[in-house]
């Protein structure tokens, strides 16, 4: 799978994103890492230009409830409905449901192992093969 | 094919998503709707971590300021040395992601056992057909296979660093002979000037007027960047370098034929068992090709 790993906003914590980028690559995926401090608009642009199938957003600074929905909206506005959005970082339990509601399919907190993320990705493959919704513009409801 | 013709039409009209979809199709080995060999590209190579991506980021700024568009094909953006800066090409060209004049796409050679030759040229052609004015290929100049990637470009810029080790690497990889222009990046560091002298004196061994220029630049301070962009626009290649590139291209086509041959697995097994000789193996694959 071709995956963009992105850091939206002013959040300067990039260790986790790099760990994840490397883990996904070692797991056989093609990974494009955006580097720090990207706007939601830039992230949408990168997903389009790189023809990515998924985008993983890393947020540790507390701005997830603002920035992540903006990326999701941006993708839908550009009619990129089949791209999968998932996230990780410091995202408290009580903020998660509203992110699932805007189309995020998984949220991974501290201590997540790469095995778990790779499992999530292969589940996605299975789901999309059987025609079940996984994309950001497809029916919400299912999440990891 | 009809798919790709529609995508091409939309891409020509400025639809970026159609462009990236079309490039993916061609990367996956589907036929290109654009005539082969119609686009021109600039190959940028050099040892790991010398600042190729950072320089491209600065070149993008110059081109965009002048109203010119630029597309970058970043090949394998994870060089062995800069391991820490994983997949760092794109992240060093940040100013690029908000301008409509810039398009960056990443390619992984890991997906192409036969080399990139079958997709690189058609991708450049498509970008050119869609009116991208400057088309840049970035590849790490660390070994033979990377040299062969850059040999598909029409002009080659070698980026070297101030460390002696960088220069030795570039020499070992054999890129010196292919380059139309050489720049020593990180001129803000003390050793850069000396590195430039060393490279110049190395080049003047067989000196004639076609010896490439050596410029000092800095992606950090911006020194020499405009001069470099202008020098690139004016540089011509020499027949010697052109012959070397044609040679590298032929070798890559040859390798690709071998590595994608249906007989490869079989032949390897026979060789392992010792039931055929190497010469017989070569003959067998040639017949099949
Ligand atoms: C190291 C660290 C820093 C380093 C960052 C170095 C770097 N380059 O990354 C430095 C010292 C610079 C720093 C600065 C700050 N930090 Co700090 N920092 C931490 C700390 C201790 C560890 C983060 C870390 O690197 N963990 C290791 C990595 C591997 O784990 P991870 O990032 O969580 O990633 C894992 C998962 O979350 C997940 N994941 C993460 N991203 C993604 C993405 C995808 C796609 C997926 C699938 C999974 C995934 O997978 C990873 C592997 O398991 C945390 C506390 C903590 N324990 O988390 C605070 C913490 C994140 N920092 C915090 C704060 C407040 C700050 C500062 C504002 C000031 C301060 N008080 O120190 C500044 C802000 C800097 C800035 N510009 O953003 C707060 C954030 C509070 C909040 N969210 O409400 C935390 C939570 C500490 C706290 N309890 O207060 N920090
Ligand atoms: N001092 C100094 N450092 C630079 C300069 N240009 C790049 N760097 C630094 O060199 C490191 C590598 O830069 P990149 O642009 O990623 O180099 P690269 O050649 O593209 O690297 P790979 O693609 O990984 O081979 C980064 O830490 C840059 O900040 C420069 O002009 N001066
Ligand atoms: Mg680079």
- Residue B26 has, within 13 A of its CA and on its CB side, a CA count of 28
The sign of the torsion formed by the CA atoms of B108, B113, B119, B120 equals positive
Contact B153, B43 (CB under 8 A): yes
Q: Which atom of ligand 1 is nearest to the CA of A117?
A: 47
Residue nearest to atom 77 of ligand 1 (CA): A12
B106 to A30: CB separation less than 8 angstroms, yes or no: yes
φ, ψ of residue B144 to 5 degrees: the values are -60, -45
Chain A residues with beta carbon closer than 8 angstroms to that of B86: 18, 21-22, 25, 31, 33
pLDDT at B230 exceeding the cut of 50: yes
| Spans of all domains in chain B | 1-33, 38-237, 238-289
Residue with token string 């040229």: B121
- Residue A21 has, within 13 A of its CA and on its CB side, a CA count of 24
Confidence at residue B79, expressed as pLDDT on a 0 to 100 scale: 44
| B113 vs A7, higher pLDDT | A7
What is the distance in A from the centroid of ligand 3 to the CA of A94? 40
Q: Pick from B166, B165, B136, B153: which is nearest to B248 by CA?
A: B153
* Predicted complex ipTM: 0.82
pTM, 2 dp: 0.85
Confidence at residue B82, expressed as pLDDT on a 0 to 100 scale: 38
Contact B49, B82 (CB under 8 A): yes
What letter does residue A61 receive in the DSSP assignment? S
Which residues are CB-neighbours of A45 under 8 A, at least 6 positions away? B16, B97, B98
Chain B residues with beta carbon closer than 8 angstroms to that of A40: none
Confidence at residue B78, expressed as pLDDT on a 0 to 100 scale: 53
Which residues partner with A37 through β-bridges? none
pLDDT at B132 exceeding the cut of 90: yes
B250-253 long-range Cβ contacts below 8 angstroms, 24+ apart: B251/B148, B252/B115, B252/B117, B252/B148, B252/B151, B252/B152, B253/B117
Residue with token string 């598909």: B152
Point out the residue among B87, B98, B111 whose CB comes nearest to the CB of A21.
B87
pLDDT at B264 exceeding the cut of 60: yes
Judged by average pLDDT, the poorest of B9-18, B62-71, B117-126, B138-147 is: B138-147
Q: A107 vs A99, A136, B107, B203, CA distance in Å? A: 9, 14, 28, 55
Chain A residues with beta carbon closer than 8 angstroms to that of B14: none
Q: Pick from B219, B231, B159, B230: which is nearest to B195 by CA?
A: B159
**Closest ligand by atom to B46 CA:** 2
What's the pLDDT band for B204 if we cut at 50, 70, 90?
A: low
Q: Which atom of ligand 1 is nearest to the CA of A13?
A: 9
For A133, the token pair is 């919704």
Residue with token string 């939206």: A8
Which residues partner with B103 through β-bridges? B71
Q: Pick from B120, B88, B214: which is nearest to A25 by CA?
A: B88
* The domain defined by B38-237 carries CATH number 3.40.50.300: yes
Q: Which atom of ligand 1 is nearest to the CA of A62?
A: 83
Which residues are CB-neighbours of A113 under 8 A, at least 6 positions away? none
For B277, the token pair is 């000789």
What's the pLDDT band for B88 if we cut at 50, 70, 90?
A: low
Number of neighbouring beta carbons within 10 Å of residue A137: 18
What's the pLDDT band for B207 if we cut at 50, 70, 90?
A: low
Q: How far is A94 from chain B (nearest CA, A)?
A: 32
Which residues are CB-neighbours of A92 under 8 A, at least 6 positions away? none
Q: What is the pLDDT of residues A74-124, one digit of tens each?
A: 999 999 999 999 999 999 999 999 999 999 999 999 999 999 999 999 999
Domain spanning A2-129, CATH class = alpha beta
Q: Is B86's Cβ below 8 Å from some Cβ in A? A: yes
**Closest ligand by atom to A7 CA:** 1
pLDDT at B86 exceeding the cut of 80: no
């Amino acid at each position: 799978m071709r995956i963009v790993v992105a850091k939206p906003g002013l959040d300067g914590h990039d260790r986790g994103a790099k760990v994840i980028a490397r883990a996904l690559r070692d797991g056989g995926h093609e990974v494009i890492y955006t580097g720090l401090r990207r706007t939601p608009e830039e992230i949408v642009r990168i997903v389009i230009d790189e023809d990515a199938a998924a985008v993983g957003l890393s947020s540790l600074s507390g701005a997830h409830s603002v920035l992540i929905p903006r990326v999701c909206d941006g993708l839908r506005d550009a009619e990129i409905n089949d791209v999968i959005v998932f996230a990780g970082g410091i995202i408290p339990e009580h903020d998660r449901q509203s992110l699932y509601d805007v189309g995020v399919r998984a949220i991974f907190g501290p201590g997540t192992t790469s095995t778990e993320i790779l499992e999530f990705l292969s589940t996605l493959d299975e789901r999309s093969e059987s025609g079940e919704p996984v994309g950001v513009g497809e029916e919400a409801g299912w999440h990891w | 094919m009809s798919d790709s013709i529609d995508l091409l039409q939309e891409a020509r009209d400025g639809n970026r998503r159609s462009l990236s979809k079309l490039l993916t199709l061609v990367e996956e080995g589907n036929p290109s709707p654009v005539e082969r060999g119609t686009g021109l590209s600039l190959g940028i190579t050099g040892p790991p971590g010398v600042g190729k991506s950072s320089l491209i980021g600065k070149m993008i700024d110059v081109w965009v300021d002048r109203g010119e568009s630029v597309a970058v094909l970043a090949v394998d953006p994870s060089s062995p040395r800069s391991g820490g800066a994983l997949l760092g090409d794109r992240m060093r060209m940040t100013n690029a992601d908000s301008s409509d004049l810039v398009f960056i796409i990443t390619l992984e050679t890991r997906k192409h056992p036969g080399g990139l030759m079958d997709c690189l040229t058609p991708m450049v052609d498509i970008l050119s057909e869609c009116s991208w004015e400057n088309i840049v290929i970035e590849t790490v100049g660390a070994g033979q296979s990377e040299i062969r990637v850059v040999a598909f470009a029409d002009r080659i810029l070698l980026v070297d660093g101030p460390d002696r080790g960088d220069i030795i690497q570039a020499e070992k990889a054999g890129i010196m002979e292919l380059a139309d222009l050489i720049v020593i990046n990180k001129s803000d560091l003390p050793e850069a000037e000396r590195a430039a002298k060393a490279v110049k004196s190395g080049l003047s061994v067989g000196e004639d007027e076609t010896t490439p220029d050596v410029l000092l630049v800095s992606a950090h301070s911006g020194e020499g960047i405009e001069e470099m962009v202008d020098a690139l626009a004016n540089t011509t290649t020499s027949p010697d370098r052109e012959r070397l590139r044609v040679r590298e291209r032929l070798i890559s086509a040859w390798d690709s034929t071998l590595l994608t041959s249906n007989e490869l697995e079989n032949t390897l097994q026979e060789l392992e068992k010792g039931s055929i000789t190497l010469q017989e193996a070569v003959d067998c694959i040639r017949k099949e090709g």
